[in-house]
């Protein structure tokens, strides 16, 4: 039973939380109600069994626990009155528990609540940097440290952004709703950015014992499908295609011990062909519109990798060209680093080294472990062993993911051992 409840918390807690925010109108109160609901489940379910719709049960119990809490504190009387006006029978309030016969929540409503919360956190009244940080924290449950790593900034800076975002929603009375079709195009950029960052954290975890976090990649893909059902334009399709194509490689990205397998060493027969086919079809339709951008171009790069039988027969010239186009659309030192790798694969390690050494002058990449991991790899392939060891050691000092640390130690051991 404990394991089942743990699995439910890991997979559904943020959905329940989103519904509680809509019902209670307060982030902190909803967070407390979420934990109260799961505590109640730990007590009741071993005796009574798991409800048919556990997420709805948790939403209902959490809501009533929050109301009881407000009553006990004898405060916010108006909020309590408003909550009690909902159609769910008031008799459940005094019991502090939900009845499946009277629940008005279902999986579709709960999923819509999560989408509503995304758009609330990405409201134009909130600063763009705050939007993404707030949504990653509140919708997806990433820690402040994980979000800071994704943005290459400090946890304290991220914490301040999240606090500012919550205050803005409260003070500006930002509505908890999905925007109208006329408003949707202006609101979509931040939402896609959030979904993409959630996927990236799942695709390559910033810290911990695992390379990937499948619950995050699955959640990001689910959210992208939800958004695409509202706005099926090229960039939404491009983002979904990008995530599907990258997710297709997940079974081959680690070995049985959980260690990283680099792209050139992956067994491509393990790649998920159904995801590749779906992603390829999406990218073709997005490119056909001639109205695409950042995500669609990245998806096109992923599609080139998906088509290649191996690393050596990959069309690196096309990938370099696509990165050039991507840099025109969205200049970024990380994209330049990726292009440098493609150049090295096409023209040799020395060509890539020249680009990476220039990038190392940029402060933002000096704290990015992949910069030094890439630098070490290219130095090693160029025969500059001492410099490669130094670069790998620096990369090791920057990464907090255990499999990446093991991979870097293996590389250091191989370079340090006598021939």
pLDDT confidence of residue 15: 87
Alpha carbon distance 116, 108 (integer Å): 12
pLDDT confidence of residue 96: 39
Domain boundary among 314, 341, 363: 314
Is the Cβ–Cβ distance between 323 and 301 less than 8 Å? Answer: yes
Spatial neighbors of 119 by CB under 8 A, at least 6 apart, are 177, 178, 179, 187, 191
Alpha carbon distance 133, 158 (integer Å): 7
Is residue 295 domain-resident?
yes
Alpha carbon distance 214, 205 (integer Å): 10
Is the Cβ–Cβ distance between 45 and 5 less than 8 Å? Answer: yes
3-class secondary structure, 56:
helix
pLDDT tens column, 145-171: 888 876 768 899 999 999 999 999 989
pLDDT confidence of residue 232: 82
Is residue 26 domain-resident?
yes
Is residue 368 domain-resident?
no
Is residue 78 domain-resident?
yes
Is residue 239 domain-resident?
yes
Alpha carbon distance 284, 153 (integer Å): 36
* pTM for this prediction: 0.75
Is residue 250 domain-resident?
yes
Domain that holds residue 282: 232-314
3-class secondary structure, 401:
strand
pLDDT confidence of residue 214: 84
Is residue 260 domain-resident?
yes
Phi/psi of residue 273, nearest 5 degrees: -70, -30
Spatial neighbors of 279 by CB under 8 A, at least 6 apart, are 240, 241, 242, 243, 244, 245, 248, 299, 302, 303, 306
Is the Cβ–Cβ distance between 195 and 223 less than 8 Å? Answer: yes
pLDDT confidence of residue 153: 80
Domain count across the chain: 2
Is residue 131 domain-resident?
no
Is the Cβ–Cβ distance between 340 and 350 less than 8 Å? Answer: no
Alpha carbon distance 263, 345 (integer Å): 12
Alpha carbon distance 192, 241 (integer Å): 13
- CATH code for the domain of 94: 1.10.1740
pLDDT confidence of residue 290: 84
Domain boundary among 264, 287, 314: 314
pLDDT confidence of residue 387: 96
Q: Give the residue ranges of the chain where pLDDT is below 70.
A: 74-111, 150, 152, 418-419
Alpha carbon distance 26, 79 (integer Å): 10
**DSSP letters spanning 280-323:** HHHHHHHHHTT---HHHHHHHHHHHHHH-SSSTTS-HHHHHHHH
Domain boundary among 105, 131, 159: 105
Alpha-carbon Rg for the chain in angstroms: 24
């Amino acid at each position: 039973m404990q394991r089942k409840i743990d699995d439910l918390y890991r997979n559904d807690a943020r959905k329940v939380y989103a519904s509680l925010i809509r019902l209670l109108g307060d982030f902190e109160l909803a967070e407390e109600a979420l934990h109260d609901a799961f505590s109640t489940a730990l007590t009741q379910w071993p005796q009574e069994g798991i409800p048919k719709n556990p997420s709805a049960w948790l939403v209902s119990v959490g809501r009533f626990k929050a109301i009881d809490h407000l009553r006990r504190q004898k405060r916010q009387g108006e909020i309590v009155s408003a909550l009690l006006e909902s159609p769910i029978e008031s008799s459940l309030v005094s019991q502090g528990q939900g009845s499946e016969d009277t629940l008005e929540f279902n999986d579709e409503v709960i999923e819509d609540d999560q989408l509503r919360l995304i758009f609330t956190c990405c409201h134009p009244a909130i600063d763009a940097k705050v939007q993404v940080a707030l949504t990653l924290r509140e919708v997806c449950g990433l820690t402040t440290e994980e979000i800071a790593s994704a943005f290459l900034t400090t946890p304290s800076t991220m914490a301040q952004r999240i606090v500012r975002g919550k205050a803005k929603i409260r003070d500006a009375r930002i509505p908890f709703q999905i925007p109208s079709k006329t408003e949707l195009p202006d609101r979509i950029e931040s939402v896609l950015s959030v979904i993409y960052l959630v996927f990236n954290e799942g695709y390559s975890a910033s810290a911990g014992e695992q390379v990937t976090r499948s619950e995050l990649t699955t959640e990001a893909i689910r959210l992208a499908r939800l958004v695409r059902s509202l706005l099926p334009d090229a960039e939404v399709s491009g983002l979904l295609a990008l995530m599907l194509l990258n997710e297709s490689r997940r079974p081959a990205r680690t070995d049985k011990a959980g260690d990283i397998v680099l792209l050139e060493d992956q067994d491509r027969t393990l790649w998920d062909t159904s995801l590749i086919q779906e992603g390829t079809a999406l990218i073709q339709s997005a490119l056909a519109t001639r109205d695409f951008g950042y995500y669609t171009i990245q998806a096109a790069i992923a599609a080139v990798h998906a088509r290649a039988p191996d690393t050596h027969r990959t069309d690196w010239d096309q990938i370099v060209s696509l990165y050039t186009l991507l840099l025109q659309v969205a200049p970024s030192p990380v994209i330049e680093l990726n292009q440098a790798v493609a150049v090295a694969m096409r023209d040799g390690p020395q060509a890539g080294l020249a680009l990476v050494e220039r990038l190392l002058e940029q402060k933002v990449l000096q704290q990015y472990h992949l910069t030094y991991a890439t630098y070490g790899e290219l130095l090693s392939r160029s025969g500059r062993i001492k410099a490669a060891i130094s670069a790998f050691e620096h990369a090791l000092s920057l990464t907090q993911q255990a499999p990446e640390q093991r991979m870097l130690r293996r590389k250091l051991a191989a370079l340090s051992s006598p021939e």
